[in-house]
Amino acid sequence: MPIDFTPLRKILKLEQEKGYSNGTVFGGLDKFLAKWAAQSEQYITNPVLLRRFKKLNSLDYSLLDKKQRRKQVENILAFVDDIEQQPIQKSKARPAPAKKAPVRKPKAAAITGDISLDSPITAIKGISSSLAARFGKLDVHTIRDLLYFFPNRHLDYSQLKTVSELTQGNEESIVANVWQVRETRMGARRSTEAIVGDETGNVRVVWFNNPYIVKQLSTNKKIVISGRLGIFKGLPVFESPEWESLEDRELTHTGRLVPVYPLTRGLYQRQVRNIMKGVIDSWSASLGEFLPSGIRQKCKLTGLSQAVSQAHFPDDEESKNKARVRLAFDELFLLQLGVLDRKYSFQQDQSASPLSADAPLLEKWFDSLPFTLTGAQNRVIKDILADIRKTTPMSRLLQGEVGSGKTAVAVTALLAAVASGYQGAFMAPTEILAGQHFASICRLLENAGQAEVKEEYLHSYSGLLPRPITIAMLIGDIKGKKKKELQQRIVDGEVDIIIGTHALIQKDVSFNRLGLVVVDEQHRFGVTQRSALRQKGLSPHVLVMTATPIPRTLALTLYGDLDLSVIDELPPGRQTIKTKWLKPTQRNSGYAFLRKQVAEGRQAFIICPLIEESEAIQARAAIAEFEHLSQQIFPDLKLELLHGRMSSKDKDGVMKSFRQRNCDILVSTPVVEVGIDIPNASVMLIESADRFGLSQLHQFRGRVGRGEEQSYCLLLAEHPSGLARQRLDIIEKTDDGFMLAEEDLKLRGPGEFFGTRQSGVPDLKMARISDIGLLERVRREAIELFEEDPGLKKTGHKPLLKELRRIWKTEGDELS
């Protein structure tokens, strides 16, 4: 394949530099381009590229204005990039990967043939399996993982000074000659001391507790030193600075922007930095570019290899920022494409059963409700009923604050499914909540008619439809024969509405005619779980409900596959929950307040501290807290304990007792926070409130204030940091869920915010959600690309498709 693009590229770059004056080649660019086109045409076999090629050549450069010329040059360069990515020319046009992986030692070179980016890191010289295990703790397993193992931050050692310019107390960097070096004793510690200097003066350096450096330094060696300049006996001295010898190779630890990596036990900064420098030098060039060049140019993005290498060892602040933008773009772009693809295939390849409820049914149902629907509820119900009437499966995200009345909306949709002869499933994040939904939906249906059957996990009600509506709850507690029986009734179509947790979409549950799925509390349900349904061959309408107010841009990015409805109005008469952040010294007055409320006939929640490790540890902590509270603080009151390790039966028992007012204070782990509805509860006390996100605190707070009585939320924090204080101030003053969510996002990444790790959504390491401009740009580009080439089937998009599959961990030819 004899097309060599180098001259063409050179000419075009020159033309760009000269401001599109058409003076780059003698006789004008038209002639040059025509010649090039004539030579190349025969080699372009791909019909799409050929079409593009012809279009490009149909323009006369000399006749274009400056703006058009710029566009034309960009287009040709983009075309050249694309044509180079064609498999047939790959070996010629691009250097072979083996060449791109320079390995210093011949011994390692012998095995490069077998090493790829996806090889385990033990393939790298100097990484033993025990070292690899430590990296494993940081979720770094392959060479590619290492490339994407970004530093937390950089130390700015980039300003090299002379000895005479050094300022005491600052972090400084110098290049200096070693004049003297010796081992010294500082008390009992063996240390290294050196005198170094340049033409402007000398300075002392001490490495405390480290006699080994003596052997590495010798007189007249040139080294770079970066670190704090202290003072000792009136003279300046570098105290245990980073250093490296100047001859070695490019600077790694000194004299530049120096990366600071996250560590774990047994990993050391200097060691990790050395490893990373080697890996970046040898491997970053092997990362294949996957962004289409058109997008890269339009958005002025750094190339991938360059970006990865600059993210670790940047030349300067500017390249570091450019690298971050490129890598953040990738993350959001791939996220967005994956999400769009899901929407596309969800809606294109599948057809759902149209569901509808006739006017008399709706009227009867709305009349039976013990309240009048709010305007927002009505509007959202209209959206949903319009969606499910279609054969395109609905995928809608319903956002509404805690207490905004999402349940009634969901039940309306479920009724439409049942009225149309289909089943509806309602999935809750925990079994407690499933139980609560079961109870409250049963109550609503009973309002509208009459109970026919009332078995423990299965009720049926007449009144709304010509036949009774059967509703069942399927949870982990139901075992053996009983479970089989219930499952059989679901398969046989005897059950209309099935309520459970995500266990409902696990393998052993089959439906008869599943028409609609309602998913409560989206952030606990992942994208993967939604597609699990489809993999069972089911394409129901899906309604996802969340009480987490998600800022719109973010919602569109993370859940771009969903249409968005918002209940932005609370039912009338809802009270504001009075929130107070108590200083540690006010703990007792907090307890006294609880006691007073209980004396007035109210009930209270106490939420135990959030402990990261495990549910088991949380449970243990909650048990200890419960014992302390019931023995030391409230020995005269009735306390109950709720945690995630209890059996559902025990949990139910506790909830029942609390609901029936047999218990005054419910002590609970954060695991069981969501959705619990106890109107008589009027106080919530939250321990270690500084450990929770604002949105989460807001959710907790929504557990009270569901009845008539003025309700309160008390926050305790033992040693809040400055930042935590600010946040506690905010939650005390605002009850606007959206604002709280925005605040959360500013402080925590979106990944943390949504727990993307668990939800099957790719990790976001570089993207910041506060970067709205980038988010919007990414979304525009993704939509445009997707409209041009849904499924990314075009040849030029192959690398992108491959990357997308890798990131989303999907297999096969199709994206999802």
CB burial of 535-566 (b: ≥16 within 10 Å; e: otherwise) equals eeebbbbbbbbbbbbbbebbbbbbbbbbeebb
Among 331-339, 368-376, 583-591, 665-673, the segment contacting ligand ADP (CB under 6 A): 368-376
Q: Give the up-direction half-sphere exposure of residue 524: CA atoms within 13 A in the CB hemisphere.
A: 18
- When asked if residue 197 is in the footprint of ligand ADP (CB under 6 A), the reply is no
**Hey, is 751 helix, strand or coil?**
helix
Tell which one of 229, 402, 434, 697 touches ligand ADP (CB under 6 A).
402
Nearest to 166 by CA among 208, 111, 225: 225
The DSSP output letter for 432 is H
Task: Considering the complex, state which of residue 223 and residue 562 has its C-beta at the smaller distance from Mg ion.
Answer: 562
* Interface stretch with Mg ion, choices 106-114, 262-270, 294-302, 669-677 (CB under 5 A): 669-677
Closest CA to 737 of 503, 539, 463, 548: 548
For ligand ADP, the closer of residues 164 and 372 by Cβ is 372
Measure the CA–CA gap between 214 and 552, rounded to whole angstroms: 59
| Contact partner at residue 408 from Mg ion, ligand ADP, none, CB < 5 to 8 Å by partner kind | ligand ADP
Residue 631: DSSP 8-state: I
Per CB under 6 A, which region of 316-324, 344-352, 369-377, 422-430 contacts ligand ADP?
Answer: 369-377
Decide if residue 705 touches ligand ADP (CB under 6 A).
no
CA distance 433 to 674: 8
Nearer to ligand ADP, 342 or 396 (CB): 396
Q: Which of 293, 336, 404, 548 binds ligand ADP (CB under 6 A)?
A: 404
Choose from ligand ADP, Mg ion, none: what does 682 bind? Cβ within 5-8 Å by kind.
none
Q: What is the DSSP string of 682-714?
A: EEEEETTGGGS-HHHHHHHHTTS--SSS--EEE
Buried b / exposed e along 106-130 (16+ C-beta atoms within 10 A): eebeeebeebebeebbbbbeebeee
Give whichever of 441 and 665 is closer to Mg ion, judged by the CB atom: 441
Buried b (16+ CB within 10 A) or exposed e, 375-407: ebbebbbebbbebbeeebbbbbbbbbbbebbbb
* Residues from 670 through 729 that contact Mg ion (CB under 5 A): 675
Assess 406 for contact with ligand ADP (CB under 6 A).
Answer: yes
For the bound state, the minimum distance from the C-beta of residue 758 to ligand ADP, rounded and expressed in Å, comes to 22
Q: C-beta of 736: minimal distance to ligand ADP in Å?
A: 16
Which partner, ligand ADP, Mg ion, none, binds residue 371 by CB below 5 to 8 Å per kind? ligand ADP
- Is there binding between residue 85 and ligand ADP (CB under 6 A)? no
Chosen residue from 86, 374, 420, 630 binding ligand ADP by CB under 6 A? 374
Q: How many CB atoms lie within 10 A of CB 480?
A: 7
Binders of ligand ADP among residues 488 to 547 (CB under 6 A) are 547
When binding is defined by CB under 6 A, the residue of 108, 213, 373, 623 that contacts ligand ADP is 373
| Residue with Cβ nearer Mg ion (519 or 641) | 519
Distance, CA of 713 to CA of 726 (rounded, Å): 17
Binder to ligand ADP among 407, 470, 682, 699 (CB under 6 A)? 407
The encoded tokens of residue 437 equal 């939904």
| 707 is an interface residue for ligand ADP by CB under 6 A | no
Residue choice 179, 212, 232, 371 for contact with ligand ADP (CB under 6 A)? 371
Q: Is 65 exposed, middle or buried (0-12, 13-18, 19+ CB in 10 A)?
A: exposed
122 in Cβ contact with 132 (< 8 Å) = yes
229 bridge partner residues: 238
Residues of this chain, 653-692, that bind ligand ADP according to CB under 6 A: 677
- Range 749-808, binding ligand ADP (CB under 6 A): none
DSSP 8-state assignment for residue 62: G
**Which of the stretches 24-32, 280-288, 399-407, 641-649 binds ligand ADP when contact is defined by CB under 6 A?**
399-407
- CA 651 → CA 432, 700, 730, distances in Å? 7, 18, 33
**Residues 555-584 as x/- pattern, contact with ligand ADP by CB under 6 A:** ----------------x-------------
Q: Which residue, 602 or 706, has its beta carbon nearer to ligand ADP?
A: 706
Question: Minimum Å distance from CB 547 to ligand ADP?
Answer: 6
- 751 vs 763: CA distance, rounded Å: 6
Tell me which DSSP letter residue 287 carries.
S
- 658 token code pair: 């609390």
Is the CB of 521 or the CB of 743 nearer to ligand ADP?
A: 521
- Does residue 429 touch ligand ADP according to CB under 6 A? no
Toward ligand ADP, which CB reaches closer, 338 or 400?
Answer: 400
For ligand ADP, which residue of 252, 305, 377, 756 counts as binding (CB under 6 A)?
377
Minimum CB distance to ligand ADP smaller for 172 or for 431:
431
Kindly tell me the number of DSSP H helices and DSSP E strands found in the chain: 31, 24
Using CB under 6 A, which of the segments 36-44, 297-305, 323-331, 406-414 binds ligand ADP? 406-414
Chain positions contacting Mg ion, by CB under 5 A: 675
Chain positions contacting ligand ADP, by CB under 6 A: 371-374, 377, 400, 402-408, 547, 571, 677
